[in-house]
Amino acid sequence: MVERDRIHILWVTFFTAACIVGMAGCETRRTTLSTGPATDSAAPTGTVGAEDSAGLTAEQILDRMLTAYRTAKSYRDDATITLSYRQGGRMFSDEAPIAVTFQRPDRLRVRAYQVTLASDGQQLRGFIADPSTRNIDGQFLARPVPERLQLATLLDDPLLADQLGNALVSADAGRIPLQLAFLLSTEPVTLLADKDTHLSRLEPGPADGRDCLRIEATTLQGKFVFWIDRQDFLLRRLEYPRKALVARIADDQEVKDLQLVANFHKASFSDAADPESFELPIPAGAKQVRFFVPPPQPLPSDKFGKVFDALSLATPDGEKVTSESLTGRVAVLLWFSSHAECESALRQFAEVHGKFADEARLAFYVVSTEPSAVSHQQLRELLKSWQVSTPLARDVAAQGRDLLDINNTPTLVVLDGEGALQLYEVGVNPQMSQQLPQVLEKLLQGEDVAAAILQQQELEQQQ
């Protein structure tokens, strides 16, 4: 889904169980770091002075870092993850919290993306801030904490596991905050597992006011850089390569100078946390749940069934495509831009058009959102290269945006013979060529598809 003005940053859900710590391999030989289960033993071991770290290999440095987290009695930070990039000649920056406070064995406070979570040793409590679903319909997590708090305690709730992840990072790169995995995982961490990946030391440098050792992990996704405190082996910063981000961002040629960096500000093993920091009162009226129940997905538009009688588009030949000219016919419209992500949607749309080529009661148009500076001929050549012969209309006046709230492409819109919105679909639907014909057949038979969609949504909400 491509937003015309800039990337839409969503610090939301996705979790991968395949690689808890975050890298699918980082060494020239297959190696499993020998860090066993977290313990209640004393403070981190194996710290060395600046003069002693020069002889350590990259693997030894990462091994000591993991050991420091596994043996720490306490930990706290004020961590954030920041995405910065240049698009359309402008610089943008978006930041989200991934802060963690922990006291072994079972006290925890997390603020990560939309999640606030706390364990006081007795109960695990939390909520997900999401205005679109009224904070998951007011659900508030409250369940007993097991004898030892583990990473699995958090990840056995699918929705919580999703919301603890970063939707911008590909599954292969790991999505949950790294310090949670370092502190809570009870299994040996296979951090260096891919024979095609190379680990090396870089020149040291400062991060968060501390002198850091730097480890570069060159993977198939690119180069990750770990900034590890020379004194206490805390991770101070992690730099992600571009290819570690989801493809829709990593492959977007309009996005320049793309950087994703996690900064573990004020990270410390020694700062004791106030016991009250692990408390999270249950709000009055909250719906207490042991596991979050996913709410029904909101409809992509709140205009289902609404009649649009002021639509006005135009073909390159000057023909007007208006609500009046479409009266009595089902209008099947696909808004698109020149971005490559629209190609597959247009190909499917053209396939459906071909199936109904002789049906006079249907009017198919692909609707370009490109500005007038893009010529008719350029658009024709683009459609030809994509093997799309469906009639072209242009929306230079941005009527799709103003009337139908179309801000992303591709967006599929179907209006019945009276101009009422019957179908609204944003993004690439891999099953469009199979599903859209079924909708059109129902509309041709006089069915009110929008009414059925609204009824189903109400039923799901009630359930």
The pLDDT tens digits for 422-450 are 999 999 999 999 999 999 999 999 999 99
- What's residue 409's pLDDT? 93
pLDDT at 77: 96
Q: How far is CA 217 from CA 23, 65, 193, 256, in A?
A: 9, 15, 12, 22
The most confident of the ranges 159-168, 198-207, 267-276 is 198-207
The string of pLDDT tens digits covering residues 97-156 is 999 999 999 999 999 999 999 999 999 999 999 887 889 889 999 999 988 899 889 989
Instruction: Report residue 221's pLDDT band, with 50, 70 and 90 as the boundaries.
Output: confident
Q: Name which of 367, 363, 366 is nearest 329 in CA terms.
A: 363
Give the CATH number of domain 312-462: 3.40.30.10
pLDDT-derived band at 21 (thresholds 50, 70, 90) equals very low
Has residue 381 got a pLDDT over 90?
yes
Question: How far does CA 283 lie from the centroid of its chain?
Answer: 28
CATH of domain 2-40+54-289: 2.50.20.10
- CA 250-255-257 angle, to 5 degrees, is 90
236 Cβ contact list (under 8 Å, min separation 6): 207, 208, 210, 212, 227, 228, 229, 263, 264, 267
Strand partners, 336: 368
For the ranges 177-186, 257-266, 398-407, which has the lowest average pLDDT? 177-186
CA dist., res. 25 & res. 31, Å (int)? 9
Look over the chain and give the mean of its residue pLDDT values, rounded to a whole number.
84
pLDDT value at residue 170: 63
Q: How many CB atoms lie within 10 A of CB 352?
A: 22
For position 195, what pLDDT does the model report? 67
Tokens of 302: 């709140």
- The model's pTM is 0.64
Query: Which of the two residues, 290 and 134, has the higher pLDDT score?
Result: 290
Strand partners, 240: 260
Provide the residue ranges of all domains of the chain, joining segments of one domain with +. Answer: 2-40+54-289, 312-462
